[in-house]
């Protein structure tokens, strides 16, 4: 299989302070681990292009996009909330992060790649239609979904979100949209404290109690996600790939390991092969323990490439 690896140097320019967990070091750790293991050399590497303004407007309201531009600082940091800050490089990074996902969608529909991993930051799945939060500014996955629908006429798209936090932004944007199925696993009760008890037909929440391990995660995915996916028959799979549910991650209290990320990636690929001609685009979300992030993404990429996991 051809797995594309899309990133951009501008993703390193976004910085929210020396002690902030969402750091440029995250992408450094991923690339170092993939280079050390040799996995990176098996991917088709390419560089993102900034997303176009009209594509951003497919997922976010104009007033929100104008607010972000107005708050972009010339120097120092501009605070949007207690944990989400902008520096002078933030919007450039956010534009190429979203642009990577757009390029990934183009690659799978143009048969240039079988699947794609977007190694980007800032993350996106907490960004709602009109609100930044949780380290997120543009909802990268939602923008990719909107592009696939507009450019390629895709009627059914599934978003699978396995971050330790619920993808509230993606839910906010698509909760009343029957053409998008959102499946989200997350620790509960936990941030972002919203959209967790809704009854929308196209939102499948899979809450996991603190301390849950890979067995509970796999059981939840098989019980809740699989029947919904089989009934929905998606024509494209989008992954919000968060790795902060890892046992070593300081952000929360779930206990997933590298084989769990390998397993859920294989499951997503199986669904993509059955219903979507193999089309799958994965986008980095959380993951804040640098060593665990590197090895988890390595496991994820091995599954995308069709390689065995080997020794985790």
Query: Catalytic positions, please?
Result: 126
In angstroms, rounded to a whole number, what is the distance separating the alpha carbons of residues 57 and 40?
33
Task: Check residue 51 and report its DSSP letter.
Answer: P
The burial of 167, by beta-carbon neighbours within 10 Å (0-12 exposed, 13-18 middle, 19 or more buried), is given as buried
Half-sphere exposure of 169 (CA within 13 A, CB side): 28
Under 8 Å between Cβ of 289 and 248: yes
- Bridge partners of 7, per DSSP, are 47
First-to-last C-alpha distance (Å) of the chain:
22
The burial of 16, by beta-carbon neighbours within 10 Å (0-12 exposed, 13-18 middle, 19 or more buried), is given as buried
Could you please report the per-residue DSSP string of 143-200?
HHHHHHHHHH----EEEEE-SSS--HHHHHHHTT-TTEEEEEEEEES-TT-SSSS---
In angstroms, rounded to a whole number, what is the distance separating the alpha carbons of residues 227 and 13?
41
């Amino acid at each position: 299989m051809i797995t594309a690896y899309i990133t951009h140097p501008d993703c390193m320019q976004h910085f929210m302070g020396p002690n902030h967990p969402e750091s440029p070091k995250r992408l450094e750790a991923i690339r170092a681990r993939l280079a050390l293991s040799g996995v990176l050399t098996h991917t088709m590497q390419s560089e993102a292009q900034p997303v176009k303004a009209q594509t951003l407007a497919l997922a976010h309201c104009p007033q929100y996009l104008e607010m972000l531009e107005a708050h972009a600082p010339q120097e120092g940091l501009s605070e949007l909330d207690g944990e989400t800050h902008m520096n002078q490089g933030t919007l450039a990074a956010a534009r190429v992060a979203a642009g990577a996902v757009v390029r990934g969608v183009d690659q799978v529909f143009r048969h240039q790649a079988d699947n794609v991993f977007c190694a980007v930051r800032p993350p996106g799945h907490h960004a709602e239609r009109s609100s930044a939060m949780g380290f997120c500014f543009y909802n990268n996955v939602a923008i990719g979904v909107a592009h696939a629908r507009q450019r390629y006429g895709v009627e059914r798209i599934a978003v699978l979100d396995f971050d330790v936090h619920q993808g509230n932004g993606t839910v906010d944007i698509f909760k009343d949209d029957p053409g998008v199925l959102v499946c989200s696993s997350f620790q509960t009760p936990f941030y972002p404290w919203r959209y967790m008890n809704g009854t929308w037909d196209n939102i499948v929440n899979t809450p996991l109690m603190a301390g849950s391990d890979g067995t509970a995660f796999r059981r939840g995915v098989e019980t809740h996600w699989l029947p919904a996916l089989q009934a929905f028959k998606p024509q494209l799979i989008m992954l919000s790939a968060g790795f902060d549910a890892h046992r070593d991650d300081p952000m929360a209290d779930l206990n997933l390991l590298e084989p769990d990320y390998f397993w859920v990636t294989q499951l997503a690929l199986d669904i993509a092969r059955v219903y979507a001609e193999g089309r799958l685009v994965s986008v980095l979300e959380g993951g804040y323990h640098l060593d665990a992030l590197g090895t988890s993404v390595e496991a994820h990429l091995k599954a995308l490439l069709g390689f065995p996991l080997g020794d985790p």
